[in-house]
């Protein structure tokens, strides 16, 4: 494949990733971009070209050793659910934008510590970036089958420049570095997915097409020289080497700037961790599945024809003349490289600007009152940072790092970064750790690395035979860089790790407990270690005494956030802590809040410097801080209790309110009931009074009318009496005084007792009654007198409302196995849907308005309902085809 074709493919591939990033940026809260799978895949930025190519080299040359780098993470990942969550919370509330911020803030927001961490990271990671560029370059040359030439003629130089430009443009879209970069994360996730797929493709190809499966490779490989030697775990000292490598990678998964960036800064939801803890190990497992077959397949295929074992995957594809496979493998490696480069340089440039550049001088350049100007300057400094990091890394690769395998450079990086481990984990779990301890530990640890790794490797590059390595510094035996103090069974990397971390750890511990830290350290220690206590109002945990004017602070915020964001942020702050808008003085909470707002833009140290420039702080002694912390702890406890109590009170008050409402409703019902009762009572009285008055005053009333009036008086008196009976009945049911006397009866007999006396009346009104018995004649338990009352009410109701020329009432008796159902229906106007249930209320009133006349006696159906319910039955009404039906049930077994 020629260079031009490959370049075009690369441009297309980058364009595709760019489009994905753009799309994700637009849909930043979409379920496609903001989910646990994208998060987990982005964590796979861990697998760089070192994994993609380097593991194969290690496996080919020294068997299973490559596994240690993946076992470490797999061992520690289950603890993520606690540790990672804690780090995420701390970083979120403090607006932390990188590991330098994270460590330095904990140790009293120490400017020097932040800068030191930054330097360590840059020194550790730059060669690692160089390694990626080296892989891109080498593979590019293998694919195009060209040799690398002088720097300006080499195509890969331009690939590096293009990559630098792209990353510096895309990685710095936000001034606030703690802001999420959904586009980048999405692109990284897609790359992680593709590199895995491509790697699996070549793995399957080698295993099943080039060979006949795993067994075949193993059989052929076992015939090779050195096979068993390379594939044994070895003796005890080998095991210790292994163990140390596991420890190394275990630290790396937390502390590597790119891992910190994707797992902490870019974490959108804590719950995504839950998916990551099983999916990420699975990803690593899948990635390692074919490393061994490819490596030993390569060893078999290229026996006696040595090629760089790191690149077996490409060579094998080329050997079988599979151009498409060569291209896929190359693109997978390219993905692995650029995702590492992009994330690492973003993380490093943020640290460079926020923890080194701005706090050490550049801050003076950010004095403009215009927010845009300041923001532009910050962003520009980061752009330059990213660009130069990549370019410098490219030079390192071109001039220094050509001789070593991918893995060895990667491991050196890991060891350097691991120097941050004691102060990093100390920050999470140990309140006594101090800035002095952290700084001393890191420096000593780094110096040991320098002596035991960097210097020998640098000397090794010049390939001169050297007495320094073989005899030790000044010929002193115990100073041999690879065998310090005579420790001679460790390989260089575990050896360096062992000594540097040992010293680092004890110095960190020793200095921390020997020297008093300052109060700010103690304050942040509290906020880090006990983060869960302060998660919702961490500003409260910040201790600060002094004088500061709100207006001054606002002015500074304006300079970096712009007026709109500042005003909005302060409004939220005021609401959160219930602070009057007109307050002129700033308190500790506002100081912390403002520092946080600035942190994302300029880093923790500069934020402190800037706020400190307008806030006159009084010194507080350490004991006082401890006392305040103790108090605030108590306060927080007290607060918690208060909140609980107030929640309880609130619950109670809601209950009271509900009870009150129920009472009011009942009261209203009672009023309505009384209203209706009085109306119902007054109506017959009115009729009686009117008739009586006329009879009394008027002597000339014709005889028949006089009779009619007297009849009125009798009917209305009866009605009055009936009404009073019903009211009393209902009252008895409601207060529970009404007893049900059950006895065995036949329902049909009971019904006859009701219908027979009514026959005359029905005849007179020419209403036809049909009875349908679809029921065996068996005995039921019920209170006959009450059921008679129900039948009477339902029938009189039906009689009253049946209409039409052929007035007709149907009564049905059904056997429903568990119970019997009785229906009384009549032709007539349907009951409005809304009222189907309410007609069984006492004095049913349509539409809740008490102006409409109640239907029927008003109380009849209410009484029926009470009776049926007392028998554990149901009663309801239905409309169908101009027929109104009232139904009730009686259970067979009581």
Q: Which of 708, 721, 768, 771 binds other proteins (CB under 8 A)?
A: 708
Q: Which is nearer to other proteins, 324 or 696 (CB)?
A: 696
Instruction: State the nearest-atom distance from the C-beta of 781 to other proteins, in Å.
Output: 39
**Is there binding between residue 836 and other proteins (CB under 8 A)?**
no
Q: What is the rounded CA–CA span in Å between residue 241 and residue 253? A: 19
Site for other proteins contains 712 (CB under 8 A) = yes
CB of 662 to other proteins, least distance (A): 25
60 vs 688 by CB, closer to other proteins: 688
**Does residue 764 interact with other proteins by CB under 8 A?**
no
For position 852 contacting other proteins by CB under 8 A, the verdict is yes
Q: How far is the CB of 679 from other proteins (least distance, A)?
A: 4
Q: How far is the CB of 681 from other proteins (least distance, A)?
A: 9
235 token code pair: 């003796």
689 lies in the site for other proteins, by CB under 8 A: yes
Euclidean distance between the first and final Cα of the chain, in Å? 91
Crossing angle of helices 435-449 and 111-144, rounded to 10°: 30
Cα separation of 57 and 66, whole Å?
A: 9
Q: Which range in 99-107, 252-260, 565-573, 706-714 contacts other proteins by CB under 8 A? A: 706-714
Residue 723 is a binding residue for other proteins (CB under 8 A)? no
Q: How far is the CB of 710 from other proteins (least distance, A)?
A: 11
Q: Is 715 in the site for other proteins (CB under 8 A)?
A: yes
Residues 415 to 474 in contact with other proteins, rule: CB under 8 A: none
The radius of gyration of the chain's CA atoms, rounded to the nearest angstrom, is 44
Buried b (16+ CB within 10 A) or exposed e, 448-479: bbbbbbbbbbeeeeeeeeeebbeebeeeeeeb
d(CA 550, CA 197): 56
Give DSSP secondary structure letters for 42-109: HHGGG--HIIIIIHHHHHHHHGGGGGHHHHHHHHHGGGHHHHHHHHHHHHHHHT--SHHHHHHHHTTS
Q: Is 701 left (phi over 0), alpha (psi -120 to 50) or beta?
A: beta
Can you tell me which of 465, 697, 703, 704 binds other proteins, judged by CB under 8 A? Answer: 697
670 binds other proteins (CB under 8 A): no
Distance from chain centroid for Cα 276 = 12
User: Number of residues in contact with other proteins, rule: CB under 8 A?
Assistant: 28
Per-residue DSSP letters for 356-402?
A: IITTTTGGGG---S-HHHHHHHHHHHHHHHHHHHHHHHHHHHHHTTT
| Binding piece for other proteins, criterion CB under 8 A, among 241-249, 576-584, 687-695, 773-781 | 687-695
Q: Is 850 in the site for other proteins (CB under 8 A)?
A: yes
| Residue 763 CB contacts under 8 Å (≥ 6 apart), including other chains | none
Closest CA to 173 of 314, 307, 44, 350: 350
Q: Per rule CB under 8 A, is residue 679 in the interface with other proteins?
A: yes
851 part of the interface to other proteins, by CB under 8 A: yes
Helices 236-255 and 421-429, axial angle in degrees (round to 10): 60
Piece in contact with other proteins (CB under 8 A), picked from 507-515, 555-563, 571-579, 708-716: 708-716
Residues 6+ apart with CB under 8 A from 592: 538, 539, 542, 544
Q: Contact with other proteins (CB under 8 A): which of 119, 402, 690, 823?
A: 690
**Which residues, 855 to 884, sit near other proteins by CB under 8 A?**
855
| Cβ closest to other proteins, residue 415 vs residue 855 | 855
- Our finding on whether 698 is near other proteins (CB under 8 A) is yes
Among 42, 263, 413, 691, binds other proteins (CB under 8 A): 691
Residue 889: in which H helix or E strand, if any? strand 883-891
Closer of 168 and 691 to other proteins (Cβ): 691
Q: Which of 438, 687, 839, 863 binds other proteins (CB under 8 A)?
A: 687
Is residue 575 a contact point for other proteins (CB under 8 A)?
no
Instruction: Choose one: 161-169, 321-329, 701-709, 734-742; the region binding other proteins (CB under 8 A).
Output: 701-709
Identified binder of other proteins from the candidate list 376, 639, 646, 686, rule CB under 8 A:
686
Q: Could you say whether residue 683 binds other proteins (CB under 8 A)?
A: yes
Which window, 178-186, 266-274, 608-616, 695-703, contacts other proteins (CB under 8 A)?
A: 695-703
Number of C-beta neighbours around residue 676 at 10 A: 19
- How far apart are CB 667 and other proteins at their closest, in Å? 16
- Nearest distance, CB of residue 850 and other proteins, angstroms: 8
Dihedral angle of Cα 624, 628, 630, 633, to the nearest 10 degrees? -160
Q: Which of 285, 485, 685, 728 binds other proteins (CB under 8 A)?
A: 685
Return the closest-CA partner of residue 187 out of 333, 33, 47: 33
- 74 versus 713: smaller Cβ distance to other proteins: 713
Phi, psi (5° rounding) for residue 236? Answer: -60, -40
What six digits make up the tokens of 341? 């480069």
The answer to whether 682 contacts other proteins (rule: CB under 8 A) is: yes
Q: Is the dihedral of CA 614, 616, 619, 623 positive or negative?
A: negative
Selection from 527, 439, 449 nearest residue 495 by Cα: 449
> Counting contacts by CB under 8 A, is residue 716 touching other proteins?
yes
Contact stretch for other proteins (CB under 8 A) within 507-515, 573-581, 807-815, 849-857 = 849-857
By C-beta, is 654 or 705 nearer to other proteins?
Answer: 705
Among 709, 751, 782, 844, which residue sits at the site for other proteins (rule: CB under 8 A)?
709
| Residue in 138, 102, 94, 135 with CA at minimum distance from that of residue 118 | 102
Partnered with residue 823 across adjacent β-strands are 812, 887
What is the spatial distance between Cα 211 and Cα 316, in angstroms, rounded to a whole number?
A: 11
Binding site for other proteins (CB under 8 A): 675, 678-679, 682-683, 685-691, 693-694, 697-698, 701, 705, 708-709, 712, 715-716, 850-853, 855
């Amino acid at each position: 494949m020629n260079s031009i074709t490959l370049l075009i493919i690369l441009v297309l591939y980058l364009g595709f990733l760019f489009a994905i990033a753009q799309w994700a940026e637009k849909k930043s809260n979409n379920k496609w971009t903001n989910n646990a799978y994208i998060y987990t895949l982005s964590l796979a930025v861990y697998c760089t070209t070192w994994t993609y190519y380097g593991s194969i080299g290690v496996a080919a040359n020294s068997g299973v050793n490559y596994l240690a780098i993946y076992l470490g993470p797999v061992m520690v990942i289950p603890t993520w659910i606690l540790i990672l969550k804690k780090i995420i919370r701390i970083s979120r509330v403090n607006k932390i934008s990188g590991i330098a911020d994270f460590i330095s803030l904990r140790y009293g927001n120490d400017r020097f510590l932040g800068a030191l961490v930054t330097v360590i990271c840059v020194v550790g990671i730059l060669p690692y970036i160089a390694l990626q560029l080296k892989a891109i370059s080498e593979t590019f040359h293998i694919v195009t089958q060209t040799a690398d030439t002088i720097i300006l003629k080499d195509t890969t130089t331009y690939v590096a420049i293009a990559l630098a430009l792209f990353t510096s443009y895309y990685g710095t879209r936000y001034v606030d570095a703690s802001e999420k970069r959904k586009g980048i994360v999405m692109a990284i996730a897609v790359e992680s997915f593709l590199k895995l797929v491509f790697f699996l493709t070549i793995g399957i190809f080698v295993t099943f097409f080039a060979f006949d499966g795993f067994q075949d490779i193993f059989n052929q490989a076992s015939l090779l020289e050195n096979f068993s030697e390379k594939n044994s775990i070895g003796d005890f000292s080998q095991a210790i080497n292994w163990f140390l490598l596991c420890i190394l990678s275990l630290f790396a998964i937390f502390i590597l700037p790119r891992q910190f960036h994707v797992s902490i800064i870019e974490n959108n939801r804590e719950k995504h961790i839950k998916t990551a803890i099983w999916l990420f190990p699975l990803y690593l497992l899948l990635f390692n599945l074919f490393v061994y077959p490819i490596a030993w397949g390569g060893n078999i295929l290229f026996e006696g024809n040595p090629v760089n074992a790191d690149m077996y995957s490409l060579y094998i594809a080329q050997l079988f003349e599979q151009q498409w496979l060569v291209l896929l493998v190359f693109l997978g490696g390219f993905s692995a490289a650029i995702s590492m480069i992009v994330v690492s340089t973003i993380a490093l440039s943020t640290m460079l600007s926020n923890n080194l550049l701005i706090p050490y001088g550049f801050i003076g350049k950010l004095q403009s009152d215009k927010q845009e100007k300041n923001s532009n300057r910050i962003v520009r400094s980061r752009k330059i940072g990213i660009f130069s990091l990549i370019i410098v890394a490219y030079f390192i690769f071109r001039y220094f790092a050509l001789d070593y395998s991918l893995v060895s450079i990667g491991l050196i990086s890991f060891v350097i970064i691991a120097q941050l481990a004691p102060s990093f984990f100390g920050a999470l779990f140990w309140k006594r750790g101090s800035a002095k301890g952290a700084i001393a530990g890191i420096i000593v640890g780094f110096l040991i690395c320098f002596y035991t790794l960097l210097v020998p490797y640098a000397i090794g590059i010049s390939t001169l035979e050297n007495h320094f390595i073989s005899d030790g510094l000044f010929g002193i035996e115990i100073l041999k860089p690879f065998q310090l103090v005579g420790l001679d069974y460790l390989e260089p990397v575990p050896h360096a790790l062992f000594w540097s971390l040992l010293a680092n750890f004890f110095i960190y511990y020793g200095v921390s407990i020997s020297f008093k830290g300052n109060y700010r350290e103690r304050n942040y220690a509290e906020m880090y270690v006990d983060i869960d206590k302060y998660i919702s109002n961490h500003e409260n945990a910040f201790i600060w005494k002094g004088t500061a004017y709100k207006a001054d602070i606002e002015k500074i915020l304006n300079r970096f956030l712009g007026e709109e964001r500042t005003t909005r942020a302060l409004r939220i702050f005021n609401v959160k802590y219930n602070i009057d808008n007109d307050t002129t003085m700033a308190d500790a909470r506002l100081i912390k809040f403002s520092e946080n707002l600035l942190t994302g833009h300029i880093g923790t140290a500069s934020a402190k410097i800037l706020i400190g420039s307008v806030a006159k702080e009084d010194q507080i002694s350490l004991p006082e801080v401890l006392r305040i912390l103790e108090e605030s702890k108590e306060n927080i406890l007290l607060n918690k209790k208060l909140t609980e109590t107030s929640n309880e009170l609130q619950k109670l008050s809601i209950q009271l309110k509900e009870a009150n409402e129920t009472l009011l409703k009942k009261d209203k019902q009672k009023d309505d009931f009384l209203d209706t009762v009085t109306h119902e009572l007054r109506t017959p009285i009115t009729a009686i009074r009117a008739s009586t008055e006329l009879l009394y005053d008027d002597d000339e009333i014709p005889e028949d009318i006089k009779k009619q009036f007297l009849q009125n008086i009798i009917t209305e008196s009866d009605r009055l009496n009936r009404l009073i009976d019903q009211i009393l009945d209902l009252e008895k049911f409601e207060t529970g005084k009404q007893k049900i006397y059950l006895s065995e009866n036949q329902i049909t007999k009971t019904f006859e007792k009701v219908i027979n006396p009514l026959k005359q009346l029905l005849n007179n009104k020419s209403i036809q009654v049909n009875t349908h018995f679809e029921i065996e004649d068996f005995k039921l338990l019920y209170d006959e007198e009450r059921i008679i009352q129900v039948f009477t009410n339902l029938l009189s109701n039906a009689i009253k409302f049946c209409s039409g020329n052929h007035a007709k009432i149907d009564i049905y008796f059904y056997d429903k196995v568990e119970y019997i159902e009785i229906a009384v229906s009549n032709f007539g106007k349907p009951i409005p849907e809304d009222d189907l249930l309410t007609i069984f209320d006492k004095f049913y009133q349509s539409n809740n308005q008490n102006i409409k006349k109640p239907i029927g006696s008003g109380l009849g159906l209410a009484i029926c309902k009470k009776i049926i319910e007392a028998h554990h039955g149901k009663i309801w009404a239905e409309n169908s085809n101009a027929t109104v039906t009232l139904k009730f049930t009686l259970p067979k077994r009581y």
